[in-house]
């Protein structure tokens, strides 16, 4: 990871003030896709890619944001902060400020330097990392301390209400609350969670198809609408079902004919994915690797065929991993339509697996992938 000392010294040179530095990680979702906004279950882990935010107060009534990755600066009067998005990287920090201000906090003048190594548009939650790092930095400056789950909700609101992406709670939650060497089984209904140890000899290998995805893109939003439409059909018969979390495959058998064919397929994915996610957490906890692998394979099939959120390249990356030595399970992770696959692999085969998968993928698709051997890391914190 980037050395925070480099960000510190560049902040000091640029702004002439000693900063406080915060880090918020990206994430990989092991299983539980498009279930969060249906109040279901997800099982992500924070990873060792992160956004760092260095903050110091200013005396001139300005907020100055500097993105080291782009070499770009944005400057605003505190009294005239943008009220809506401008389709710029600054939307994420500005969204956080907007939500904090709607919570009644007076936003002070400050300088904020940002740097990150979470690959962008790859389904590893670079946006959530940026929001959570900003939120921690700014709340610390105003001496406010939110519990992790509350901070995650505020950041999700920044993305929903300011950036305009209709994401669920998963990404911000794991960035704020991740635990080293653990995945987290999160109940997105009440935000209760259970830590699930990732065995020491299991590597998390993230394989980037290099096909870009965007949560702001239309496909994410239209899938979400189809999921919600399916829940509304079931609710006509069983009013207690407000989200697919409460629906069963029997409901689909009885009332699926009242749904559009797409809604029915999306709902089948979400309902079965919730069951798989809870089962996978149990299997991982008892170190039943065969069962974890089976559930991940089934989850990928469901995501690809019923949810239709995969793409040729991601299907290839998953298929090409299947007979490599050491593989426990593989599937497309994140919002879908590109991005990365997550592979659980026996550590002793990790390097060899990463190398062989990269070679096979390049040979089949003509695209050079990026393959990362990652570790489950802790959630956002002050450095």
Q: How far is the CB of 241 from ligand GLA (least distance, A)?
A: 20
Site string for ligand GLA, 202-241 (x = CB under 6 A): -------------x--------------------------
Of 56 and 333, CB closest to ligand GLA? 333
Q: Which of residues 302-341 bind ligand GLA (CB under 6 A)?
A: 334-335
Instruction: Please select the residue that binds ligand GLA; options are 25, 26, 95, 168, rule is CB under 6 A.
Output: 168
Q: How far is the CB of 178 from ligand GLA (least distance, A)?
A: 15
Q: Which of residues 252-291 bind ligand GLA (CB under 6 A)?
A: none
- Given the rule CB under 6 A, which of 27-35, 98-106, 108-116, 200-208 is the region that contacts ligand GLA? 27-35
Show Cβ contacts of residue 323 under 8 Å, excluding neighbours closer than 6 positions.
none
DSSP structural state of residue 377: -
- Given the rule CB under 6 A, which of 130-138, 162-170, 178-186, 248-256 is the region that contacts ligand GLA? 162-170
| CB atoms near residue 382 (< 10 Å) | 10
Among this protein's residues, is 171 annotated catalytic?
yes
Tell me if 371 contacts ligand GLA by CB under 6 A.
no
Asked if residue 24 lies in contact with residue 56, where contact means CB atoms within 8 angstroms, the answer is no
Show Cβ contacts of residue 163 under 8 Å, excluding neighbours closer than 6 positions.
85, 91, 92, 95, 127, 216
Tell me if 167 contacts ligand GLA by CB under 6 A.
yes
Size of site (CB under 6 A) for ligand GLA: 12
Rounded-to-integer distance, Cα 16 and Cα 54, Å: 12
Site string for ligand GLA, 36-55 (x = CB under 6 A): xx------------------
Which of 36, 171, 251, 315 is flagged as catalytic? 171
Stretch (H or E) spanning 236: helix 218-237
Q: How far is the CB of 91 from ligand GLA (least distance, A)?
A: 15
Q: How far is the CB of 364 from ligand GLA (least distance, A)?
A: 26
Instruction: Please select the residue that binds ligand GLA; options are 52, 112, 170, 252, rule is CB under 6 A.
Output: 170
φ/ψ (deg, to 5) at 68: -60, -40
Rounded-to-integer distance, Cα 378 and Cα 182, Å: 9
Residue whose structure tokens are 């002793």: 348
Q: Which two tokens stand for residue 121?
A: 């548009």
Among 344, 341, 289, 380, which Cα is nearest to 33's?
341
Tell me if 91 contacts ligand GLA by CB under 6 A.
no
Of 234 and 299, CB closest to ligand GLA? 299
Q: How far is the CB of 66 from ligand GLA (least distance, A)?
A: 26
Of 89 and 353, CB closest to ligand GLA? 89
3-state secondary structure 45-108: EEEEEEEEEEEEECCCCEEEEEECCCCEEEEEEHHHCCCCCCCCCCHHHHHHHHHHHHCCCCCC
Asked if residue 29 lies in contact with residue 44, where contact means CB atoms within 8 angstroms, the answer is yes
Q: How far is the CB of 382 from ligand GLA (least distance, A)?
A: 25
Q: Which two tokens stand for residue 35?
A: 């279930």
Catalytic residue IDs: 171
Residues that bind ligand GLA (CB under 6 A): 29, 33-34, 36-37, 167-168, 170-171, 215, 334-335
């Amino acid at each position: 990871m980037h050395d925070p000392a480099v960000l510190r010294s560049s902040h000091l040179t640029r702004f002439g003030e000693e900063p406080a530095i915060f880090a918020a990680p990206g994430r990989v979702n092991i299983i539980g896709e498009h279930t969060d906004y249906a109040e279901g279950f997800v099982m992500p882990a924070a990873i060792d890619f992160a956004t760092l935010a260095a903050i110091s107060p200013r005396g001139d009534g300005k907020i100055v944001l500097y993105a080291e990755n782009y070499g770009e600066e944005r400057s605003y009067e505190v009294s005239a902060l943008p009220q809506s998005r401008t389709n710029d990287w600054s939307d994420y920090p500005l969204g956080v400020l907007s939500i904090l201000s709607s919570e009644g906090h007076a936003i002070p003048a400050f300088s904020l330097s940002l740097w990150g190594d979470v690959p962008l548009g790859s389904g590893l939650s670079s946006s959530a990392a940026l929001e959570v790092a900003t939120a921690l930095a700014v709340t610390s400056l105003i001496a406010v301390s939110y519990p992790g789950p509350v901070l995650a909700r505020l950041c999700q609101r920044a993305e929903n209400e300011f950036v305009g992406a209709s994401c669920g709670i998963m990404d911000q939650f794991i960035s704020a609350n991740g635990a080293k060497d653990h995945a987290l089984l999160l109940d997105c209904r009440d935000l209760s969670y259970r830590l699930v140890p990732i065995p020491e000899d299991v590597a998390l290998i993230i394989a980037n198809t290099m096909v870009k995805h965007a949560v702001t893109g239309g496909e994410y939003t239209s899938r979400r609408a189809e999921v919600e439409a399916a829940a509304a059909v079931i609710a006509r018969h069983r009013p207690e079902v407000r989200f697919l979390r409460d629906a069963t495959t029997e409901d689909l058998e009885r009332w699926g004919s009242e749904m559009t064919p797409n809604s029915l397929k999306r709902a089948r994915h979400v309902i079965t994915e919730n069951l798989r996610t809870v089962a996978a957490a149990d299997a991982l906890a008892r170190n039943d690797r065969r069962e974890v692998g089976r559930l991940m394979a089934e989850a990928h099939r469901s995501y690809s065929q019923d949810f239709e959120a995969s793409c040729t390249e991601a299907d290839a990356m998953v298929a090409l991993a299947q007979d490599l030595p050491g593989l426990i399970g593989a599937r497309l992770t994140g919002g879908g339509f590109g991005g990365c696959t997550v592979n659980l692999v026996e550590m002793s085969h990790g390097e060899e697996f990463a190398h062989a998968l990269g070679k096979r993928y390049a040979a089949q698709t003509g695209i050079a992938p990026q393959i990362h051997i990652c570790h489950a890391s802790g959630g956002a914190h002050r450095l």
